[in-house]
Amino acid sequence: MTSETIKNNERHAVVVVGSGINSLVCAALLAQRGKRVLVLERNDRAGGCIRTEELFPGFTHEVFSSWYPLFTSGAAYARLKDDLAAQGVEFLDNGYTTGVVGSDGRGLALRNDVGDAVQRINAFAAGDGAAFGQMASQLFERDAALTFGLLGSEPYSRGLLGLLFSQWRKRRLDGLMQYGRESLESFRRWAEREVKDDRVRGMMAPWVLHSGLGPDDACSALIGKLTFAAVVAGGMPVVKGGGRNLVRALCALVEKAGGRVQLNTEVEEIVLDGQKARGVRAGGRLYEATEAVVCNVTPPQLYGRLLPGAPEPVREQAQAYRFGRGDMQIHIALDGMPNWSDPELLKVPLLHLSDSLEDVSMSVAQANNGLIPAKPTVAIGQPCAVDPGRAPQGKWILWMQMQDMPSRLRGDAAGKIAVPEDGQWNEAVREAVCERIVDQLEAILPGLRRQIIGIKALSPADLERANCNLVGGDPYSGVCSPDQFFWMRPFASSQGARSHRTPYKNVYHIGASTHPGPGLAGASGFMVAEQIR
């Protein structure tokens, strides 16, 4: 960097790279603490995977993420709740949570109450309600302190050592080993042992996909059970008017405290002075950081583009970091409410189109091998069930997500869609897959096609183009397999790089690629804000 460029600089206490929810949470907390914070975002809008758009006149769509149970139950929201409310942020919850609908149109709606869910599941499939109740009791009573303590603590901290010691005193070695065994178990093994009905297994199994895993993967039982039970117990809130209102509020908190969120600015490199960051370079300008640089990027970006001179073992681990399957989003504006066989399903914020554990496992296996699934598992979101103002009166929105799509195409499991020789997603493949999904929906929602006002599909390639952290369309910025989770996320400790720490004293790593993983909790941003004092 030339001396002329160095003169054209700005000085801040903390520079944050990227403007996803973890970045904005971290920036807001630090700014409120009196630090001068600058957030630099490469795109023309802040928010990362929170993007609200009027895709069709009068319809407010969440283009990527949509639901906020992890945020409203997390430490970041507890700290910022009053400030966000003062900025006009309101979370809505209608008392329903999730459910399932089969290919025969028969479904089950669950309310935000574990006891009620036990009764509803028992009525749907006798005996399986008790299995769910026992599972919820273990998660929220017997194992709550350990599980939520592990997820909510910095992995390499004294607080975590204290938690493990207290749990050792309570459980002893045998109890901790039992917990470890149960945590490594696959969802299939647990479900085949504890749940009898295919439809109930099919209701729970898709929640495993919300971490990038599949039902046959190690750790999928813990993650699947925890996610499903937490949604039932905690609800599925949305931001009134769309997630953009949360983004605006967080940006306002940063700016009110003297910070700044700057768009259309791509950071090219972290400028080092020995083992410490001096700041970042973007657009020929040096943005100095007197205290810290915080990066919300993937490991290959951090230790490739931003820190190309990082120690070789760290760069090697970063390049070996593994991303998961692709995701596909479909947004539909309807001229009326969908024709569910059970009208109560109109009240469910998010349910899955799923018949069985085997179907979910098959679609995952096909996607893992580069095939477009013949029968994808479809997450069907109904934001108007919670926030009716998202659509004109009497009309409806379907927000759909398929988390079992291949990042790179090798073929079609049904043998009906031709894929390009280069394996890349294109418009023709995207629209053909979209038609397959709409066909699945039409079978359970008669007359759906006649109700469609507008439809927009986003392939895994579209997602990556929109957000460079979604490599291959992976919405979780890296699969949450045991070798990339908790102590191992983003990878095992090497040359001082572990969890949110990097080999450089004042450079921190946050986002879905770091502990505690993906989701809209803002947890990694909160943890790093607590470390920067």
189-217 per-position pLDDT tens digit: 999 999 999 999 999 999 999 989 999 99
Cβ burial, residue 308 (10 Å; 0-12/13-18/19+): exposed
pLDDT tens digit sequence for 72-85: 999 999 999 999 99
Of 473, 491, 511, the residue at which a domain comes to its end is: 473
Q: Point out the domain boundary residue: 432, 448, 473.
A: 473
Q: Given pLDDT bands bounded at 50, 70 and 90, which one contains residue 98?
A: very high
pLDDT value of position 2? 40
Task: Return the percent helix, strand and coil in the chain, to nearest 5.
Answer: 45, 20, 35
- pLDDT tens-digit readout, 141-190: 898 898 888 888 888 888 888 988 998 988 999 989 999 899 999 999 99
Residues 343 and 468 in one domain: yes
Which residue, 456, 473, 490, sits at the end of a domain?
A: 473
Q: Which of 138-142, 351-355, 433-437, 447-451 has the lowest mean pLDDT?
A: 138-142
What DSSP string runs through 180-230? HHHHH--HHHHHHHH---HHHHHHHGGGGGGGT--TTSTTHHHHHHHHHHH
pLDDT in tens, 249-279: 999 999 999 999 999 999 999 999 999 999 9
Number of domains in the chain: 2
In a domain, 176, yes or no: no
Is residue 502 assigned to a domain? Answer: yes
Residue 516 in this model has a pLDDT that exceeds 70: yes
Neighbours of 178 (CB within 10 A): 11
Average pLDDT, the chain: 95
Helix (H) or strand (E) holding 380: strand 378-381
Per-residue pLDDT, 158: 85
Q: Answer yes or no: do 483 and 520 share one domain.
A: yes
Task: Give the residue, 91 or 495, on which the prediction is more confident.
Answer: 91
The answer, yes or no, to whether residue 127 has pLDDT greater than 90, is: no
- In the prediction, which pLDDT does 6 show? 47
Residues 360 and 303 in one domain: no
User: Does residue 493 carry a pLDDT above 80?
Assistant: no
Q: Are residues 329 and 406 in the same domain?
A: yes
Question: Is the residue at 432 inside a domain?
Answer: yes
- 383-432 tens-digit pLDDT: 999 999 999 999 999 999 999 999 999 999 999 999 999 999 999 999 99
Q: At what angle do helices 220-234 and 128-137 cross, to 10 degrees?
A: 90
Judge whether 228 lies within some domain: no
Residue 397 CA to residue 124 CA, distance in Å, equals 27
pLDDT value at 4 more than 60: no
Do 451 and 59 contact (CB within 8 A), yes or no?
A: no
CB-hemisphere CA count at 13 Å for 254?
27
Asked if 330 and 467 sit in the same domain, the reply is yes
The answer, yes or no, to whether residue 332 has pLDDT greater than 70, is yes
46: nearest Cα among 254, 327, 306, 350: 254
pLDDT at 494 over 80: no
Closest to 468 (Cα-Cα) out of 287, 282, 244, 296: 296
In a domain, 214, yes or no: no
pLDDT at residue 239, as a whole number: 98
Q: Is 230 a domain residue?
A: no
Kindly state whether residues 305 and 429 are assigned to the same domain: no
Q: Which pLDDT score is estimated for 148? A: 87
Flag whether 281 is in a domain.
yes
Assign residue 18 the CATH number of its domain.
Answer: 3.50.50.60
Please give the pLDDT value at position 151.
87
pLDDT the model gives residue 8: 58
Give the length of the chain: 533
Does residue 321 carry a pLDDT above 80?
yes
Specify whether 299 is located in the same domain as 401: no
Token code pair at residue 398: 């379907």
Model pLDDT, residue 511: 97
Domain shared by 527 and 450, yes or no? no
Give residue 47's pLDDT: 98
Q: H/E element holding 175?
A: helix 158-184
Q: How far apart are CA 522 and CA 526, in angstroms?
A: 6
Q: Do 380 and 357 fall into the same domain?
A: yes
Examine residue 224 and state whether it is found in any structural domain, yes or no: no
Q: Tell me the average pLDDT across 309-334.
A: 96
| 426 and 358 co-located in one domain | yes
Pair 459, 485 in one domain: no
Portion of the chain with pLDDT greater than 70, in percent: 98
Q: Which two tokens stand for residue 122?
A: 């028992």
350 with 485, same domain?
Answer: no
Domain of 280 in residue numbering reads as 3-50+243-321+476-531
CATH number of the domain that residue 467 is part of: 3.30.519
